[in-house]
A and B are shown apart, each in its own frame.
Chain A
Amino acid sequence: MRSHSRRIASITAVLAAGALALAGCAKGGGGGAPQGAAGTTQTPLENKAVSAISVGTAADSAGPAPEVPGAKPGGTVYMIDRDDFSHLDPGRIYLNYNSSVSKLFTRTLTAYKHEPSGDIKLVGDLATDAGTTEDGGKTWKFTLKDGLKWQDGSPITSADIKYSFERLFADFITEGPDYAETWLVPDPNKPFRDQYKGPYDGKELDTIETPDDKTIIFHLNGEHPDFNFTVAMTGYGAVPKAHDTKQKYDKQPFSSGPYKIVSHITDKSMDLERNEHWDPKTDPIRHAYPDKFHMEFGVQAQQSTERFMADTGNDKYAFTFHNAVAAERVQEVLGNPELMKRSVQGLTPFTTFYNINTKRITDINVRKAIIAAWPSKQIQQISGGEINTGKIATTVLSPTVLGYEAFDLYGKLAKPEGDPEEAKRLLAQSGNPNPTVVYAYNQTPTQEKITVAIKEALTKAGFKVVAKPLNPTTYYDAIGVVDNKYDIYWGGWAADWPTGSTAIQPLFDGRLIADNASNYSHLNVPEINEAIDKANEITDAAEAGKAWAAIDRMIMEQAAIVPEYYQTYFGLYGSGLGGVKFDPIEGEQSALDIYVKQ
């Protein structure tokens, strides 16, 4: 996720929708242990992997979902958040926020099941299991469950699923992930739209095979052992051919899940009602206790925090997907045990970091000096402390990614306020004790202040700092240029699914450097590129995890980024609700187990 911290994203409200859309969704893995009622003191979130992620069995995939103790059906649940869902057409969804709500009405082939233990299992959602492959990931077979129905009662067939993938090639579906599209055409190195133009002119995609109404077989153009994780992305959710309204579908998707949209006024409200044709027996992850959802948008974090604190009227029955406790109210909330009982806390899959442009700062000692001098502690303090930001990071991978290993190459945890002496020593080695660095930043109030601290810390170490404010709406455009003139700039990322490949490859594969691509540090080290290729071919999840952790270390040795945080989420909900849980996959509150206390 490319939002620096929720504080910036939610409070100053300056992130471009573009940036939000870009931010991608949080298909990270691992379970930052949800910490419901943490009492008055903050429970520290350890820098350790909690990655009991596994692929579930067919039994795990069978419905219904295990009962939530004390939960009863009925009532209306309210949801308040800053933004309306930018997309509801599954094909156009990348953002975690859109995914969270889509789970209520869009089902996917596979999905993540949260065990009471905190473990996470990839299970079949529409499919009977998490998919099978017998050739190392080149051919994938899924079988649909019995009793699956659309909101009009018609059955969900394998043809519908095939169609859902085909329509992703249409010219208007550009916002979602394109892994599957790239893998389903004959040549992965050519633009996929040149090879197939979508179903609207009557042509079918022959790499997807539907031998009967229940079976669907994908023939990929390469080995992708984690393709079953890929199809868990909401971007690959089901869309019925008979009710595909093309562009209009984005506002009124046709439900395959427990709820259907009865009204959606953009930017204002959305109302969901029960979809009577949804059968809980087919669904291993959804409960659908409330009769209705009423969602209200345009509520800034400041206001939602105030409303949760006041806990009056319908706000008692309200939760929020995304809005965190406003940074300026955190202190108050932490000091109030009653409120803490209604809080949700956890580690999200998002990591943030400062990219060091390795194309411009070619001297590794200078890069190391930047890391050494970095005022991590001060930045955290300015942004509202750990609970508002996250744990100070020392690695590329997040603890939520399968295989994460904790290490701290530059002793940042020992001296989080920066070590100017060490930095000076490193600079002396580089031969230029006073290098000039251009720090480009998103011009938001918090970032401006952080810049003050960064400038001070780097100057102390002997750097000459040029601070370059960038318009928040064009920030990513500016730093996305390969030949940009900046040396250090902030960024953030989350893996699309909880393996190292989507956490590391897009950011540090030197062969992917291009304008607007996400290798912002422009790191191009042949050994790392090779290691990435090897890791991608490992079919055993644990082995692959180890390989990615090793690459993590290689990258940190190159000093290509200054890791900032493993982001945390800290939110509130109303006193009248139960079953509000933290979803470590999306990094925000989950609606699936919610019920109205009666």
Chain B
Amino acid sequence: MTGFLVRRVAGALVILLIISAVTFYLFYAIPRDPARAFCGKICQPETLALIRHNLGMDEPLFVQYWHWLTGIVAGRDFVQFGECPAPCLGYSFATQEPVFGAIVDRFPVTLSLTVGASVVILAFGIVTGMIAAWKVGQPLDKIASASSVIGASLQIYFVGPLLAFYLVDTLQLIPRPSYVPITESPVEWFTHLMLPWVVLSIIFTANYTRMTRSQMVEQLAEDYVRTARAKGMSNRTVFFRFAWRGAMIPIVTIFGVDLAVLLGGAIITEQTFSLHGIGELAVRAVQNTDLPMLLGVTIVGATAIVVLNIVVDVLYAFIDPRVRLS
């Protein structure tokens, strides 16, 4: 287990290094001058040069990248912004705040959104999938299958505004989506995030319904399930204790892969409902060509995905005793 973790973490670090380098070089390849953003309306060339120096942009690209890397460990000191304690991902070109702080600040929103949506996706998707599998071929199964096909075909940017329009504006059934810290008011946290959760999870839920159903059907045809039945286990036991375990393995795997997609979905969802999460931060960074922020968000996003994938692998070992973490 320890060996496994050490190797996986090392691998993850390499991946993150590659991603950061690619992103760094790629984004810096955009023909633009961020220094211009720090210069007044009527900008003197000397001022521009001063700003470039302040930002460390007068150095070769690989030196800049090196500074960026060391900043994460040791912190940096910018003339333009002041001190930036470790872990320093630089300062935003747009808001002039430390990138790391901004991300930490936004983290609870995105975490609430994705965790909540994951719960909806897994709970609802798996439950409906199991119901469908339990009632294979019966009307309930057909309804579940049909609605999951439609759900899987929907787009966040189509459903989001429509639901908001009808549920919030027209019918006023639920409050307008926003983020209330759970520490402040758990109830409001819940009610205000309901719509985003639903919208973000619609597409995924449908997929998990389909997947759970087909996995369950497949597992129910497995030999060991037949053995369980031959042992006199009741249908319920067979279904929930035996087949379920087997069906969960591919679902956990797919969920690990989906996390990246879910994060992408969170971007659109946050954008749709104006939630100040990391996704929204990212989109603004893109719009502003806010390189440090973009880089920071990309790295944090990638880190989240990589770490969660390790978690999924560990989880995998718990679900499937055949898998050994070595």
Chain A contacts to B: CB under 8 angstroms: 13-19, 21-24, 84, 86-87, 94, 171-172, 174-178, 191, 193-194, 246-248, 250-251, 265-268, 297-300, 303, 306-307, 310, 471-474, 476-478, 480, 496, 506, 514-518
Q: How far is the CA of A14 from the CA of B290 in the complex (A)?
A: 12
Contacts of B48 in A (CB 8 A): 516
Cβ contact within 8 Å between B97 and A191: no
Cβ contact within 8 Å between A178 and B169: no
Query: Please, which residue of chain A has its CB at the minimum distance from the CB of B161?
Result: A302
Which of B142-150, B151-159, B250-258, B281-289 contacts the other chain? B281-289
Query: Please, which residue of chain B has its CB at the minimum distance from the CB of A85?
Result: B95
Of B50, B79, B97, B289, which is within 8 A of A193 by CB? B50
Q: How far is the CA of A22 from the CA of B34 in the complex (A)?
A: 12
Contact status of A18 and B54, CB under 8 A, knowing A87-B96, A178-B44: no
Contacts of A514 in B (CB 8 A): 45
Cβ contact within 8 Å between B41 and A268: no
Q: List 7 A-B contacts (CB under 8 A).
A: A16-B287, A21-B37, A87-B96, A178-B42, A246-B82, A266-B95, A267-B97
Q: How far is the CA of A15 from the CA of B37 in the complex (A)?
A: 11
Instruction: Enumerate B72-104 residues with CB–CB distance to A below 8 Å.
Output: 78-82, 93-97, 101-102
Most chain-A CB neighbours within 10 Å: which of B44, B46, B51, B290? B44
Contacts of B80 in A (CB 8 A): 172, 174, 247
Of A171, A176, A297, which is within 8 A of B40 by CB? A176
Of B42, B50, B82, B169, which is within 8 A of A306 by CB? B169
Q: How far is the CA of A172 from the CA of B96 in the complex (A)?
A: 12
Judged by DSSP, the binding face of A is: loop
Q: Total interface residues on B, using CB and 8 Å?
A: 46
| Interface flag for B39 (CB, 8 Å) | yes
Min CB–CB distance B158 → chain A (angstroms): 16
Contacts of A194 in B (CB 8 A): 46
Q: How far is the CA of A473 from the CA of B286 in the complex (A)?
A: 9
Of B39, B276, B281, B288, which is within 8 A of A22 by CB? B39
Q: How far is the CA of A312 from the CA of B46 in the complex (A)?
A: 51
| Interface flag for B105 (CB, 8 Å) | yes
| Interface flag for B231 (CB, 8 Å) | no
Q: How far is the CA of A87 from the CA of B93 in the complex (A)?
A: 12
Min CB–CB distance A309 → chain B (angstroms): 8
Of A13, A472, A506, which is within 8 A of B284 by CB? A13
Contact status of A18 and B36, CB under 8 A, knowing A268-B105, A473-B30: yes
Q: How far is the CA of A171 from the CA of B39 in the complex (A)?
A: 12
Cβ contact within 8 Å between B102 and A16: no
Most chain-B CB neighbours within 10 Å: which of A175, A176, A194? A175
Q: How far is the CA of A456 from the CA of B80 in the complex (A)?
A: 46
Contacts of B105 in A (CB 8 A): 265-268
Min CB–CB distance A521 → chain B (angstroms): 16
Cβ contact within 8 Å between B94 and A17: yes
Instruction: Enumerate B240-270 residues with CB–CB distance to A below 8 Å.
Output: none
Min CB–CB distance B167 → chain A (angstroms): 13
Q: How far is the CA of A299 from the CA of B169 in the complex (A)?
A: 16
Contacts of B169 in A (CB 8 A): 306, 310
Contacts of A472 in B (CB 8 A): 287
Q: How far is the CA of A471 from the CA of B96 in the complex (A)?
A: 22
| Interface flag for B321 (CB, 8 Å) | no
Cβ contact within 8 Å between A516 and B94: no
Q: How far is the CA of A248 from the CA of B84 in the complex (A)?
A: 11
Interface 1/0 per residue, B183-215 and A, CB below 8 Å:
000000000000000000000000000000000
Q: How far is the CA of A356 from the CA of B43 in the complex (A)?
A: 21
Cβ contact within 8 Å between B46 and A193: yes
| Interface flag for B227 (CB, 8 Å) | no
Cβ contact within 8 Å between B276 and A307: no
Q: How far is the CA of A474 from the CA of B93 in the complex (A)?
A: 14
Query: Please, which residue of chain B has its CB at the minimum distance from the CB of A170?
Result: B79
Query: Please, which residue of chain B has its CB at the minimum distance from the CB of A247?
Result: B82
Cβ contact within 8 Å between B51 and A174: yes
Cβ contact within 8 Å between B284 and A23: no
Contacts of A307 in B (CB 8 A): 176
